[in-house]
Amino acid sequence: MTTNSISKKYMLFYINSVKDMNAWAFELPELKLENVSAYLGDKQIVKNFSARISDGELHVLMGPNGSGKTTLVKAIAGHRAYRLEGKVLLDNENISNLETNKKALKGLAIALQEPPSLEGVRVGEVLIKIAKKFRRLNDMEVSKFVKDVLNVVGLDSDVLSKYYMAEFSGGEKRKLELAKVLIMNPKVAILDEPDSGVDIDSIPRIASTVSKLLSAGSSVLLITHQFSLFDYLRPKRVHIMISGEKVLESSPDIIDELEKEGYKVVKKYGDRK
């Protein structure tokens, strides 16, 4: 064995040891959902949903309209209309019962499918407040930073003077929710259909925003019906929910079949959860 190959071998050993040490010493960003159920009054909408999204991974949740995806997201967010059972673990800490803003401060950011409007509150006030809180930027830096983020999601900085969500079209709302999440620099982001109602030219931009989140180290759970996003994004895992239940978790290899054949492909793969 040459000196060169010995030193290469040693380097590999060293790198792997350091990786192991890091994994042991620092928790990697991870969202674990353990048997999460969501109830609306007495009605159970989501049934025992479990998933593990870790280490800067992109996971996708798909399923027919009305299958319970948004209900799952709202219950995780802490929406008062829904009762959550089961565990939501962020870096192994059970955050299930924390208030929404506390969950956000722990590192969970959520882009809602139908975000509420804030009448009388301007976009600039909201985004600057979030940027100061989550990015610790000073007055000089914050305004440029927020404008840069709006540019990333494809919104003009004119929107800063509009009322938050109230004066926005459907597609613009999706982009503003994404801007909010990007500013929060979260450990984990859950994005509920950030592409719905968005024009065709904006799809690559939505995808590149998701990529930006991933390259900044966020783990992402993306809910979508939009197969064209997969021209730009390759998820690590695909979860499929039907009638409130996770019926399949798969590698992304299933995506082409799913696009061609629809949710009946699930039957082919049985109970591979």
Q: How many CB atoms lie within 10 A of CB 259?
A: 12
Quote the least distance from Cβ 240 to ligand ATP, whole Å.
Answer: 11
Beta bridge partners of 94: 89
Q: Is 180 in the site for ligand ATP (CB under 6 A)?
A: no
C-alpha 195 chain-centroid distance: 13
Residue closest to Mg ion (Cβ): 70
Helices (H) and strands (E) in the chain, counts: 9, 12
Which of ligand ATP, Mg ion, none binds 3 (CB below 5-8 Å, type-dependent)? none
Selected range binding ligand ATP among 68-76, 199-207, 228-236, 259-267, rule: CB under 6 A: 68-76
65 binds ligand ATP (CB under 6 A): yes
The torsion angles phi and psi of 152, rounded to 5 degrees, stand at: -60, -45
Site string for ligand ATP, 74-103 (x = CB under 6 A): -------x----------------------
Is residue 69 part of the contact set for ligand ATP (CB under 6 A)?
A: yes
Sign of the torsion angle spanned by Cα atoms 153, 157, 163, 168 = negative
Site membership for ligand ATP, residue 110 (CB under 6 A) = no
Q: How far apart are CA 182 and CA 136, in angstroms?
A: 14
Residues 50-69 binding Mg ion (CB under 5 A) are 69
CA gap 81, 130 in Å, rounded: 25
Give the helix/strand (H/E) hosting 88.
Answer: strand 82-90
Does residue number 262 form part of the binding site for ligand ATP (CB under 6 A)?
no
Nearer to ligand ATP by C-beta: 57 or 192? 192
**CB contact at 8 A, 211 and 222:** no
CB nearer ligand ATP, residue 113 or residue 218? 113
Residue 119 and residue 229: Cα distance in Å, rounded? 32
Site for ligand ATP in 31-60 (CB under 6 A): 40, 45
The one-character DSSP state at 252 is G
- Minimum CB distance to Mg ion smaller for 69 or for 180: 69
Contact residue for Mg ion among 37, 70, 218, 219 (CB under 5 A) = 70
Q: In 10 A of CB 221, how many CB atoms?
A: 25
Find the part of the chain contacting ligand ATP (CB under 6 A) among 4-12, 65-73, 102-110, 119-127. Answer: 65-73
Q: Note the residues at the interface with Mg ion (CB under 5 A).
A: 69-70, 113
Residues that bind ligand ATP (CB under 6 A): 40, 45, 63, 65-71, 81, 113
